[in-house]
């Protein structure tokens, strides 16, 4: 099953792609699916944001309690002022927020079941976000969180502060609800990242 997954991905990507590159595609697809699942908990905090290439975007914020386990995953300074000046980006931002690392044999089997094409599609969507610096994570004190987001969070959960994961999505109008399907549509529409039909 595992060899079949890698074979499918490599045949779709091209013979020059290695097994490690195929695994990287699975990881990116896994990160993207995690992000889509988390999106429903987010709040639009900036309707005039921009991607790195200048594309108009909405900034969506997701907050996670800064637990001891999450803080241990990075070298965060002790003074709050210094800690708030630090940030991580891209894949590291997702991992710091709690996204699992799907670098297991089970994840590759799951890839076969769902289809190699869907893995490449989601990996391409995630790569689009990475290339445009659309993902960033920073630590914030409760009083420094965006107003709209802070109102929806339980006060008891942020004793050690919050990790704020910000995702910039190419769009100018907030949707009625933040969903993974909406994120798919925005990325596909703006940059045509889907593979062309064979």
Average pLDDT over residues 36-44: 95
User: Using an 8 Å Cβ cutoff, are 31 and 124 in contact?
Assistant: no
What is the pLDDT, as a whole number, of residue 39? 96
Name the region of 19 (left: φ>0; alpha: ψ -120 to 50; beta: rest): alpha
pLDDT at 114 exceeding the cut of 90: no
Band (19; pLDDT cuts 50, 70, 90): low
- SS3 breakdown of the chain: % helix, strand, coil, rounded to 5? 50, 20, 30
Supply the pTM of this predicted model.
Answer: 0.82
Average pLDDT over residues 188-193: 76
Average pLDDT over residues 160-177: 94
Percent of the chain with pLDDT over 90: 45
User: Using an 8 Å Cβ cutoff, are 195 and 121 in contact?
Assistant: yes
Q: Which of 10-24, 56-70, 91-105 has the lowest mean pLDDT?
A: 10-24
Element (H, E) at 168: strand 162-170
Number of neighbours of residue 181 by Cβ within 10 angstroms: 11
- Locate 158 and state its tokens: 């942020």
User: Using an 8 Å Cβ cutoff, are 143 and 162 in contact?
Assistant: no
Residue 165 sits at φ, ψ, to 5 deg, of -95, 120
Q: Are strands 135-140 and 87-89 parallel, antiparallel or unpaired?
A: antiparallel
pLDDT tens digits, residue range 54-78?
Answer: 999 999 999 999 888 888 777 888 8
Q: What is the mean pLDDT of the chain?
A: 82
């Amino acid at each position: 099953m595992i060899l079949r997954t890698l074979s499918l991905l490599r045949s779709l990507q091209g013979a020059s792609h290695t097994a490690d590159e195929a695994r990287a595609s699975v990881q990116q697809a896994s990160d993207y699916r995690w992000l889509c699942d988390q999106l429903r908990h987010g709040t639009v905090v900036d309707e005039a944001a921009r991607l790195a290439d200048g594309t108009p975007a909405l900034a969506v914020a997701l907050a996670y309690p800064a637990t001891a386990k999450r803080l241990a995953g990075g070298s965060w300074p002790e003074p709050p002022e210094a800690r708030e000046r630090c940030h991580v980006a891209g894949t590291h931002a997702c991992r710091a927020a709690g996204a699992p690392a799907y670098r297991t044999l089970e994840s590759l089997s799951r890839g076969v079941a769902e289809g190699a094409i869907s893995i490449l599609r989601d990996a391409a969507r995630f790569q689009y976000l990475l290339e445009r610096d659309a993902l960033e994570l920073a630590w914030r004190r409760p009083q420094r969180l965006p107003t709209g987001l802070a109102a929806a969070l339980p006060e008891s959960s942020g004793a050690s502060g919050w990790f704020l994961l910000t995702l910039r999505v190419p769009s100018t109008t907030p949707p009625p609800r933040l969903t993974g399907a909406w994120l798919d549509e925005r990325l596909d529409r703006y940059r045509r990242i889907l593979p062309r039909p064979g």
